[in-house]
Amino acid sequence: MVDSQYFLPNDIGISALDCTEAFRLLSPREKLYAHYLSRSAWYGGLAVLLQTSPESASIFVLLQRLFRKQPAAQLESMATAAGLSPEEYQAFLVYAAGLYANMGNYKSFGDTKFIPNLPQEKLKALVWQSQAFQDSPSEMEALWDSCSTLLFSLEDQQKQLGLGDKGVTTYFSGNCCLEDAELAQKFLDSKNLSAYNTRLFKNKSEGKASYEVRLASAVQKGERNTGYFSVNFSNAFSFLKSPVSDCVFTVSRGDYAYLMKKVSENLEKAKDHAANENQKRMLEEYAQSFTFGSIEAHKEGSRFWIKDKGPIVESYIGFIESYRDPFGSRGEFEGFVAVVNKAMSERFAKLVSSAEVLLPELPWPKDFEKDRFLLPDFTSLDVLTFAGSGIPAGINIPNYDDIRQSEGFKNVSLGNVLAVAYATQKDKLTFLDEEDKDMYIKWKGPSFEVQVGLHELLGHGSGKLFVQDEKGTFNFEQDNVRNPETGEQITTWYKGNETWDSKFSTISCSYEECRAECVGLYLCLNKHVLSIFGHEDEDAEEVVYINWLNMVRAGLLGLEFFTPESKSWRQAHMQARFVILRVLLEAGEGLVTLKESIGKDGRPDALITLDRSKVHTVGKAAIERFLCKLQVIKSTADVEGGRALYEGYSAVSDTGSHNFLHLRETVLLRKEARKMFVQANTRVKGHVELVEYEGSAAGLIRSFTERFADDAEEVEAHLLELNKRDASCWSLKSV
């Protein structure tokens, strides 16, 4: 029997993201701007297939060819002829929808592989019965042969994403291990190059290790110097070499070249419909970045993006979040296009205007806070397009430390995502007592809106990094700043080109999410914050209670994303929430109780409760102490202390006051699959039309087959070519 966590259930929630009204209110020019930005995002999003697993791109093409020839309803008769039951055909549709929604065959939230919940021979029989196979039998058979084994394989290493023997990754060739990643980071830092848009490939040359750092770019061979590199491009795969630790590094361009070209072309088209000069300059720089592989150009584009205050159509695109790089430095491609929800944005604007009053409330000395808080845009958006492996509830970007610290950032809350993503039915609510369930259903939405706002604006937006730049200049008073934990003068800081991601690497993402979540918990206790969101008196207390209850429950649910065999976490946010649960359990005094039990169905169960009378006292004090530690460690680049603290609270064992390994089995037994979203398409027929689809597996599939309708064969051919180019790299073993 295959563990059910590797299947997507047939009754998985699938919802359409509604943006009809928001899109209708756009002017013709704004619609064209949104259309071309969306096209750019969707083409770039295909790179995620190549960033996820060796087989994802081939599976994607296989599905596209099946469903382009026959929509889901037509293919069903072929399934019946092939011997599939209705349940098995639905399982196949759900699998296909899952691959599209996650842009690969690993869950975007949790990094676990999922496979079709039907026998391999039945899926093969369906492929052979299909119209696509009848039209091109040799081509379809070759495509099946290229991916069918890995499509169903659940060997231990293939069950999750990871580096070396811990899992699968295509950010690194198969012969890379953690030491290679660390060595590459030292090289990149020495050359002032970012890892965000790179992958690493290891070879042997004359007995020495030889590494190729490959940049994502449309350009594949040396052309003119763009002004963002200090060296000239002399040839396609060797413009920068450096001996590091008795090895050779070569930096090349041309990763995902075809896709980056499509991204840049559509950004240029969008520029013709931009609303202002900031948008034009932003798009020019982005196009430069994707054409030549320059993160400096992307940073420059991000600066213009920050200056573009309050646009009607908001967007961001690039190699952004590093959650899925096992080393925590390389960004996954994503691009979003959304329309401002003015009513909800007014609340967030009030929160922004209160930021300078709220920041001093955070539990660290003023020396550990930014010298000046640059008031950002904070808007609620209705998503039109979100291309990538998954859709978050809120975003705080850009992720470049130097820009965030001194120039600013933006926050967005994705309103139409929040509206459907976290709706919960009472009978599916686990690990809460009946009274809490009723309150949870009523107040989860409002409380999560508050938490997202605080998490993004004052969580990710707060805190100073102590830096000594390349000229030896400090951005803090070295002789006067004291560590509030020890009372002693600080002795560590970031030097030169070091960043938060490069220093803290494998823990950086989850640690920062934990810090932001703690800020949300801490500041939601503030009555002024609650009043901004329209919550007063008893209602305000209900919001606080459910926000804290949701956090400790999420910490328990987080156990799903821990892998005991490798003792590793697969999801940054859920690891963060488990850490917070541990901190609040450790606070004692009955603040949080967690007990194992037997459910009404006779299976293992658990109950988690929160004493609301102690949230403002015991709970606040515990989060205050922990949050101060997190910030001090982050500010001072204390990697050793940070690892000891965070990995200690992240440990999952069967000893101590709670048997978390056993509780993990209970969580897996009662887990609910994460929802998937169906997104609309846009097309130009004299004017821009919005094409919407039903919230079902068939609707999600159809949205993707129609997304690339004009150049499907070309896109698929290039995807297969890009995939084939590196196929031999993934089977290499660490040396």
Structure tokens at 88: 């098995």
Task: Count the alpha carbons within 13 Å of 292 in the hemisphere toward its beta carbon.
Answer: 21
If we measure between CA atoms, which residue out of 574, 518, 548 comes closest to residue 448?
548
Q: In terms of DSSP H, where are the helices of 11-70?
A: 20-24, 28-45, 47-52, 56-69
List the binding residues for Zn(2+): 455, 460, 513
User: What value, to the nearest 5°, has the Cα angle with vertex 504 and ends 499 and 507?
Assistant: 135
Instruction: Report the alpha-carbon distance of residue 578 to residue 551 in Å, rounded.
Output: 9
Q: What are phi and psi of 320, to 5 degrees?
A: -105, -70
If we measure between CA atoms, which residue out of 660, 663, 693 comes closest to residue 676?
693
Upstream peptide bond of 398 is cis (omega within 30 degrees of 0): yes
Instruction: Report the alpha-carbon distance of residue 708 to residue 44 in Å, rounded.
Output: 12
Instruction: Report the alpha-carbon distance of residue 86 to residue 297 in Å, rounded.
Output: 51
The three-state secondary structure class of 695 is: coil
If we measure between CA atoms, which residue out of 707, 677, 710, 708 comes closest to residue 17?
677
| Element (DSSP H or E) covering residue 294 | none
If we measure between CA atoms, which residue out of 161, 398, 181 comes closest to residue 295?
398
Instruction: Report the alpha-carbon distance of residue 535 to residue 528 in Å, rounded.
Output: 9
DSSP string, 423-489: ---GGG--SS-HHHHHHHHHHHHHHHHHHHHHIIIIITT-----EE-TTS-BSS-TTT-B-TTTSSB
List the binding residues: 455, 460, 513
Residue 343's Cβ-count burial label (10 Å; 0-12, 13-18, 19+) is exposed
Terminal alpha carbon distance of the chain: 35
Instruction: Report the alpha-carbon distance of residue 181 to residue 21 in Å, rounded.
Output: 47
Task: Count the alpha carbons within 13 Å of 324 in the hemisphere toward its beta carbon.
Answer: 33
How crowded is residue 205: how many other Cβ atoms within 10 Å of its Cβ? Answer: 11
Q: In terms of DSSP H, where are the helices of 670-696?
A: none
Residue corresponding to tokens 């997507």: 8
456 is catalytic: yes
Structure tokens at 211: 């590494």
Cβ 484 vs Cβ 628: under 8 Å: yes
Catalytic residue from among 332, 456, 512, 716: 456
Sign of the torsion angle spanned by Cα atoms 168, 173, 176, 181: negative
Calculate the dihedral angle through the C-alpha atoms of 191, 194, 199, 203, rounding to the nearest 10 degrees: 10
Q: What are phi and psi of 464, to 5 degrees?
A: -105, 145
| Element (DSSP H or E) covering residue 623 | helix 620-635
CA-based R_g, the chain, Å: 25
Structure tokens at 135: 């039209």
Cβ 522 vs Cβ 627: under 8 Å: yes
Residue 726's Cβ-count burial label (10 Å; 0-12, 13-18, 19+) is middle
DSSP string, 297-337: HHHHHHHHHHHS-S-SEEEEEEEEE-TTSTTS-SPEEEEEE
| Element (DSSP H or E) covering residue 26 | none
Cβ 329 vs Cβ 501: under 8 Å: yes
The three-state secondary structure class of 251 is: strand
Cβ 290 vs Cβ 263: under 8 Å: yes
Q: Are strands 14-16 and 676-678 parallel, antiparallel or unpaired?
A: parallel
- Which residues participate in catalysis according to the annotation? 456
